Amino acid sequence: MREDVQSLDIKDVTANWVNAAVLQSQIENRIKALADLSHTPLFFGRLDYLPTTQEGRRFYIGRRHVHDAEGDPMVIDWRAPVSQPFYRASRKDPQDVGLRRRFGYTGGDLTAYEDEHLTDPSEAEQTSRLLQAEIERPRVGPMRDIVATIQPEQDEIVRSGLSGTVCVQGGPGTGKTAVGLHRVAYLLYAHRERLARTGTLVIGPNRSFLHYIEQVLPALGELEVKQATVDDLVGHVEVSGRDTAAAAVVKGDARMAQVLRRAVRSHVTMPTEPVVVVRGSRRWRIPAYELEEIVRELLDRDIRYGAARDALPQRIAHTVLVRMEEAGEAPDDRVQDAVARNAAVKAAVKAIWPPVDPAKLVLRLLSDAEFLAAHADGVLTAEEQATVLLPKPPRSVRSAKWSAADAVLIDEVTDLVQRTQSLGHVVLDEAQDLSPMQYRAVGRRCSTGSATVLGDLAQGTTPWATASWAEALSHLGKPEAVVEELTAGFRVPREVIAYASRLLPHMSPGLAPVSSVRESPGSLDVRAVADTADLDAAVVGACVESLRNEGSIGLIAADSRVPALSAALAAAGLPHLSPGEETTAEARLTLVPASLAKGLEYDYVVLDEPASVISDEPDLRTGLRRLYVSLTRAVSGLTVLHAAPLPPQLT
């Protein structure tokens, strides 16, 4: 198929160079989408329909559609309607499928297959060994797709319609990230033309996470989906400063949107002088009270500040044209445009509705106590206002050390001035950590589209982490979204998730623990180190032990402990990677600060000093959640080392 596309000659089928360029770009993208991936089989399953349906046809299911030289299908795309029973058919509901076959591969070579006769009552229902083997397969390199192992409850979310927003609550290892990415791939298959026009975006918590997941969609043939963090979306200014936790919480509060709205609209001044337009020998006068009526009408329409400012000169010009017509003249649209550009009209617009620079406005709010008080009155308390005020105001926007929360405020003002362009679909992962103002920033990017929101309330590790999905979805502008919960865990071993779940009653009492479906219980080893001075050496020793196993190794530690452990690994001659760097057969050990562990997974995890993970955080709840995240990154085994006493919530 790729060779067929490469052989296309477009010289005689394009009318001009623009058409040729567009068509050539589409051909190049198609060639990239059809590129072979090493060790990735063309198909992973087969469906044999009953003779009375689908003419008894047999379909091979794969990551992409494949046809022969005559155009007849050889492999059916997993997203096609005919492939759906591969994921949902059961003995209770065979969906006209007589046989479902799964294929097993090793290094790209077909090594096994497994049949399920869904309509044979004599065949006992049992867990698929190939399915279990695929789930247990060691993790090396970036995240991979799960098309061969999608479960029925996951498939329902993946194939839900484009028009609705879906929120997926799922504990560690339930596959929520993979479900979100495969949902994008499905929507691009089912609504390609629409999403090609409007665009799709995956939003992750940090660059390390985005690097980890970036190969999933290309493996499914989807190359046009963009990836970004929330900080990337609101990058109107360079972020070089940091807020205190208290200041960040107030700046991230949804009430700040009302303060900013008031501040923007405060720039509008009611006219006190008439506008006199001179055209030829005639003078046309619009009194101040009529100008005020125009201004109030625009304010009442509640349109963007910039759009209203653009409309004001046209409204004034239209009033002048009415005067001209009443005087017996016959002006046309060109006259109205000329009047709108008249110096007197432009001067009036500048005085009544001056331009607003978002960064300058936010800087003034955070620097000028009186200006802030005027617009935060009745919204923020005096204490909250004092919290967000800069102790040492900068001289200008350029010299300001903006924080990440400041950038979100600037983005809010930017949208108040000029509408943010909406995309067709947005996937928001690790959503539980966003502030209300960050939710608003994301919501602006899908105001006319839909979203897939992924997260786990128990893993919220910011002081402003959301308490409920209903609240978060309201800030996102999608209160009607359906909340789905995934409770079956496919990644974290049973013994490990049971140990980590001891923390749940102390940090998220309303959430049920994840139920692991892994047959392998995994390994859990909690070791006490007698002397703090020996802890680094003990951690290095545990890493050496873990490296004897197949797969990736993650050494997770409190951020404050990372420099010391990095030095200890180097002294022991153990090369290690940083989060975001791709693991290989030669480099399988990654040193991960606890603050960056979210969303990542490793075959074996060595966790250093749980008490330090908690104490690094501003409060106990956040610390416990950070520890919960760190404990649940392991796929096969977890080793916990501690010199200080274990947190009482774990014992």
CATH number at 496-650: 3.40.50.300
The label of the residue with tokens 């992409």 reads: 64
Q: Which pLDDT tens digit goes with each residue over 61-79?
A: 998 888 887 888 899 999 9
Q: What is the mean pLDDT of residues 284-305?
A: 96
- What is the mean predicted confidence (pLDDT) over 332-346? 93
What backbone phi and psi angles, to 5 degrees, belong to 104?
Answer: -110, 140
Mean per-residue pLDDT for 42-60?
83
β-sheet bridge partners, residue 553: 589, 604
The pLDDT value recorded for residue 120 is 82
Distance CA 318, CA 335 (A): 10
| Interacting residues of 278 by C-beta distance below 8 A, sequence separation 6+ | 284, 342, 344
Q: How many CA atoms lie within 13 A of 58 on its CB side?
A: 6
How many Cβ atoms sit within 10 Å of the Cβ of residue 651?
A: 8
Instruction: Give the pLDDT mean for 291-298.
Output: 97
In this prediction, residue 30 has a pLDDT band, given cuts at 50, 70 and 90, of low
What is the Cα–Cα distance from 103 to 287, expressed in whole angstroms? 81
Mean pLDDT calculated for residue range 520-528: 85
- Decide if pLDDT at 53 tops 70: no
> Could you read off the pLDDT of 162-215 as tens digits, one per residue?
999 999 999 998 999 999 999 999 999 999 999 999 999 999 999 988 998 988
> 219 vs 341, which has greater pLDDT?
341
Domain spans of the chain, in order of start: 2-33, 43-126, 275-352, 357-417, 496-650
- Using pLDDT thresholds of 50, 70 and 90, give the confidence band for residue 154: very high
pTM: 0.86
Nearest to 586 by CA among 540, 538, 552, 633: 552
Q: Is 495 in contact with 523 (CB distance < 8 Å)?
A: yes
Q: Which of 601, 591, 590 is CA-nearest to residue 629?
A: 601
For position 451, what pLDDT does the model report?
98
Distance CA 351, CA 81 (A): 60
Given a cut of 70, whether residue 5 has pLDDT beyond it is: no
Work out the average pLDDT over 513-538.
88
Dihedral (CA of 429, 435, 436, 442) sign? negative
* Mean pLDDT across 350-366: 97
What percent of the chain is predicted at pLDDT more than 70?
91
Length of the chain: 651
What is the pairing mode between strands 73-77 and 58-62?
Answer: parallel
